[in-house]
A and B are shown apart, each in its own frame.
Chain A
Amino acid sequence: MSESEGRNFAQVLLAHAEQTPDRVAIHLVQNKLADLPITYSQLVHNSSAYAQRLMEAGVRAGDVVVLILQHGESLLYAFWGAVLHGAVPSILPWLTDKLSPEKYRHDLVALIEITQPAAIVTYAEFASEVDQAVAQASLMPRVLTVTGSNSTLKSNAAPPYFQTFSGLQRHADDLALLQHSSGSTGLQKGVALSHQAVFNQLASYAGAIQLSASDVICSWLPLYHDMGFIAAFVMPVLMGVPLVLMSPFEWVRAPARLLLLITQYGGTLCWLPNFAFNFMAQKIRERDLAGIQLNSMRAFINCSEPTYAASHALFAQKFAPYGLQAGTLTTCYAMAENVFAVAQSGFDQATRVETRQGAALLSAGKPLPNVRVQILDEQRQTVSDGQIGEIAIQSNCMLTGYFHREDLTTATLHEGWFLTGDLGYLSEGELFVTGRKKDLIIVGGKNVYPQDLERLASDVPGVHPGRVVAFGVPNEASGTEDVIVVAETDIADEDERYRVSDAVRQSITQNSDVAVRVVKLVEPMWLLKTSSGKLARGANREKYLAETQAASTT
């Protein structure tokens, strides 16, 4: 994609609409409705109405526009409309039934304060929710509304008008996108990416996965997370590869639907977090697999949380009778700070497995040609092959910075290298990811900051404020991490303790992106502190595991 040098998203999108107007960019899978094919011409036409709205609202090129919309047509058009207008779109997770509106509003205020968006696009029926958050913020973005997730705005735009889109004037080094991870902490840490960084990633990654116009990408991934957003939205649309897109909510309820889409559309590529391999192998009934044909698949790409050989084995065993080919289960190591992929396995040779300390580790493959990987020790010195250290990366597709967070940008960059906070080692040119240096919990591919969960649990009456730790423990059966919360309490009465642990569970479910697996209430002074008086998550995790182990063997 050398032709993208010096170009921007709007130019590339318009080129598709001009050269292949009738080619389907996205097959939008809708709940209880027929799939909706959206051609490049329709995509640009419908998106241009949003570009117009943004212009009329006084949004300027380079301004951030936050999108709070559900899976559906309006989200697609609002996103590409912001691109055509030259704004910097950021897609936020939708407020699900389980989340408390108060918490959502609180997070939104925090996001507005740091990101300072010029506009927020949401549904008319959700506008009052957003307005309340906007009213609490010190600066007030415009709230633009659309009605219904499948509504389209009227557009006056016709091809000659296209040339007036201000998005066409953006420089390659201007910001194209902002990506946030979830929770109060994640929302205050927007990864800012330039047009050129995204193009560089796409060119390099497309080569690594041998992407071509004959591919068909099938996805249920949410668009507010880098895996779904880049690999299964921005990449296919900008590179002219058809995308079949279903909603994450529907996939959770009916995972077999994804396989049906692969069968119907002849899907070739699908990105999934590790737990999805277990989930689909364990939850899909044989009767829901009638007629499923997976022969067309070139690769399922396991990405965005620790990958397990056992998960691949489960998946292969279940779906081999339905045409799943050997060697099509691959892995990828990715992060928003590098736009997406850092390394990818499986396309030039089978994904390697190495056994280390009794554990079978899946290789994440070779680093992409445009990415350099170093493993650093505590003194930030390079270690030799096979030794575990912090993974540091350098590439031509790195973040411009954390948006309006110069402090964080400085802290994570060391002499031009991005310190990932992940642990791993290199072996024969391939990267193996072994764990994390940073205290981060990854559940079902979602990054969760333990401090957010600890704060929530601390506020529950009966829990000693500040005497809580949250951490993740890998669960082989589910293929992801279980969230464990250990909290100190004085309460001895059993019924009363259930009430406290329920309240902790409920608060976290309703105020975060994850559900808690275990709430363990302990007596005061159970939790270990570091020498500086801070609660040590790692040490308390070890203590919890030792106690659980002891309890299960007695």
Chain B
Amino acid sequence: MDTSNQISTYIATEILKQPKRVIKPDEKLISSGLIDSFHLVDLGLFVEDTFGVRIDDSELSAETFDTVAQLVKLIDERK
């Protein structure tokens, strides 16, 4: 599974509890209210554990990434 799919699956299954759902790469996650601040921390930990890339606490906001595609880009840049 590629990075984008892994993140999308994690969000659908663990955060939204809608396992059959597909999150589109350009779907707004944070500014739309789909992911709240507490689950954002979970997402940050998931990214760190899965891809070995650290996202600093202060970066957990819509300004750093707001879509799966933007998050993938951030991960790729730091790998």
Contact = CB atoms under 8 A, between A and B. Distances in A.
Nearest to B60: A253
Contacts of B37: 98, 249, 252-253
Given A97-B62, A253-B41, A517-B17, A509 B57 contact: no
Interface in B1-58: 16-18, 21, 31-34, 36-39, 41-42, 45, 57-58
Contact of A498 (B18, B36, B45, B62): B18
A500 to B, nearest CB: 12
B18 A501 contact: yes
A162 interface: no
Given A283-B45, A498-B18, A518-B17, A509 B60 contact: no
Contacts of B32: 506
Q: Which size class do A's interface residues fall under?
A: 20 to 34
A510 interface: yes
Contacts of A510: 33
A502 interface: yes
A405 to B, nearest CB: 31
Chain B: interface secondary structure?
A: loop
A506 B38 contact: no
A283 B44 CA distance: 10
Contacts of B21: 498
Contacts of B33: 98, 505-506, 509-510, 515
Contact of A252 (B16, B38, B45): B38
Interface string A517-545: 11000000000000000000000000000
Interface in A241-257: 249, 252-254
Contacts of A501: 18
A478 B39 CA distance: 11
B34 A502 contact: yes
Contacts of A509: 33-34, 36
Nearest to A518: B17
A254 B57 contact: yes
Given A98-B33, A501-B18, A283 B39 contact: no
Contacts of A518: 17
A322 interface: no
Given A283-B45, A501-B18, A515 B36 contact: yes
Given A505-B33, A505-B34, A515 B39 contact: yes
Interface string A81-97: 00000000000000001
A515 B30 CA distance: 12
Nearest to B32: A506
A126 interface: no
Interface residues of B, number: 19
Contact of B58 (A98, A253, A478): A253
B57 A506 contact: no
A279 interface: yes
Given A253-B57, A253-B58, A254-B58, A515 B17 contact: no
A253 to B, nearest CB: 4
A501 B20 CA distance: 13
A506 B34 contact: yes
In this complex, which of B17, B32, B42, B57 has the most chain A Cβ atoms within 10 angstroms of its Cβ?
Answer: B57
Interface string A478-494: 10000000000000000
A478 B37 CA distance: 14
B34 to A, nearest CB: 7
Contact of A98 (B36, B45, B57): B36
A283 B16 CA distance: 19
B57 A515 contact: no
A253 B57 CA distance: 5
In this complex, which of A253, A509, A517 has the most chain B Cβ atoms within 10 angstroms of its Cβ?
Answer: A253
A506 B17 CA distance: 15
A515 B15 CA distance: 11
A502 to B, nearest CB: 7
In this complex, which of B31, B32, B38 has the most chain A Cβ atoms within 10 angstroms of its Cβ?
Answer: B38
Interface string B49-79: 0000000011010100000000000000000
Contact of B41 (A283, A444, A506): A283
Interface in A372-412: none
Contacts of A249: 37
Nearest to A252: B37
A493 B57 CA distance: 39
Interface in A239-283: 249, 252-254, 279, 283
Nearest to A100: B33
A443 B49 CA distance: 27
Contacts of B58: 253-254
A453 B29 CA distance: 21
A454 B41 CA distance: 27
B28 to A, nearest CB: 10
Contacts of A498: 18, 21
A472 to B, nearest CB: 15
Nearest to B21: A498
A283 B34 CA distance: 20
22 contacts: A97-B31, A98-B36, A98-B37, A252-B37, A252-B41, A253-B41, A253-B57, A253-B58, A254-B58, A283-B45, A478-B38, A498-B18, A498-B21, A505-B16, A506-B32, A506-B33, A506-B34, A509-B36, A515-B33, A515-B36, A515-B39, A518-B17
Given A252-B41, A478-B38, 12 more contacts: A98-B33, A98-B36, A252-B37, A253-B37, A253-B57, A253-B58, A498-B18, A498-B21, A506-B34, A509-B33, A515-B36, A518-B17
Top 9 nearest A-B pairs by Cβ distance?
A509-B33, A515-B36, A254-B57, A253-B57, A506-B33, A510-B33, A252-B37, A518-B17, A283-B41
Interface of B: 16-18, 21, 31-34, 36-39, 41-42, 45, 57-58, 60, 62
